[in-house]
Amino acid sequence: GQQLNQSPQSMFIQEGEDVSMNCTSSSIFNTWLWYKQDPGEGPVLLIALYKAGELTSNGRLTAQFGITRKDSFLNISASIPSDVGIYFCAGLDFNTDKLIFGTGTRLQVFP
Amino acid sequence: EAQVTQNPRYLITVTGKKLTVTCSQNMNHEYMSWYRQDPGLGLRQIYYSMNVEVTDKGDVPEGYKVSRKEKRNFPLILESPSPNQTSLYFCASSLWGARGAEKLFFGSGTQLSVL
């Protein structure tokens, strides 16, 4: 099945640093979503993007819907220990009504 | 409290021994779905259901069965588990299918090990 490529696969950063991750696809999507999975829990939605070029913030998180509609980016500023987890992107294709998840970025934050 | 409840949280079994993972939601959602999560592969959809008695295959349905006899429940059945089904499983629900993805609620997961 179709998958989205996320990079990096994992990140080890120090508290206070900024983080960037991205998601790319060979197909275009109508909606991009970013989820966070805390250890031992299911994914929770962070940000939803609906239009090419859209830039949306949620606290220290900022995400962008790529102009080509084939990619999306997530930035976390001034990371804190509770940012630890796995971040997933997901693309929604209206034609197939399918939600495709990325491969995930595992984030570790050291004090 | 709105939630998706999966049971059990952890399960260790042996090859070939039938098992069922239960999933229940209390939000009157029409759409329910099962995913498996494997390192480096992200979340992959196993089966989904748009409504009672309506189920369809996702991307990795082989070796799994589901049923949707009631709106709130969507059990995942492994008739003859094999080691390659060792994985972390998530149930999810939403009001309007994948297009309601921004309102997709996930359960806390079931870690399955097949020996």
pLDDT of residue A1: 58
Name the E strands within B26-67: 31-38, 42-51, 54-57, 65-66
Q: What is the distance in angstroms between the Cα of B100 and the nearest Cα belonging to chain A?
A: 10
Chain B nearest CA to A104, separation (Å): 5
Do residue A102 and residue B60 have CB atoms under 8 angstroms apart? no
CB A14 within 8 A of CB A26: no
Residue A33 token pair = 């979503």
* Each residue's pLDDT expressed in tens, for chain B with a length of 115 residues: 889 999 999 999 999 999 999 999 999 999 999 999 999 899 999 999 999 999 999 999 999 999 999 999 999 999 999 999 999 999 999 987 767 666 789 999 999 999 9
pLDDT at site B103: 79
Please classify residue B62 by burial: count the beta carbons closer than 10 Å to its beta carbon, then call 0-12 exposed, 13-18 middle and 19+ buried. exposed
Cβ neighbours of B35 in A, within 8 Å: 101
Distance CA A67, CA A72 (A): 9
CB < 8 Å to A41, chain B:
108-109
**Residue B66 · residue B83 · CB < 8 Å:** no
Q: What is the mean pLDDT of residues A87-97?
A: 88
- State whether B43 and A101 contact (CB < 8 Å): yes
* Nearest Cα to Cα of residue B104 among A99, A106, A69: A99
B-chain CB neighbours of A101 within 8 Å are 35, 42-44
Nearest-angstrom CA–CA distance, A93 and B98: 9
By the 10 Å C-beta count (0-12 exposed, 13-18 middle, 19+ buried), B25 is classed as: buried
Per-residue pLDDT, A87: 97
Are B4 and A97 in contact (CB < 8 Å)? no
Q: Which residues make beta-bridge pairs with A24?
A: A5, A71
Measured in angstroms, the CA of A78 and the nearest CA of chain B are apart by 26
Residue A10: the pLDDT is 96
A10, A39 contact by CB (below 8 A): no
Mean pLDDT of A46-75: 95
List pLDDT tens digits, range A2-37. 678 999 999 999 999 999 999 999 989 989 999 999
* Proportion of chain A above pLDDT 70, given as a percent: 98
Residue of A99, A100, A101 for testing the chain B interface, max B β-carbons within 10 Å: A99
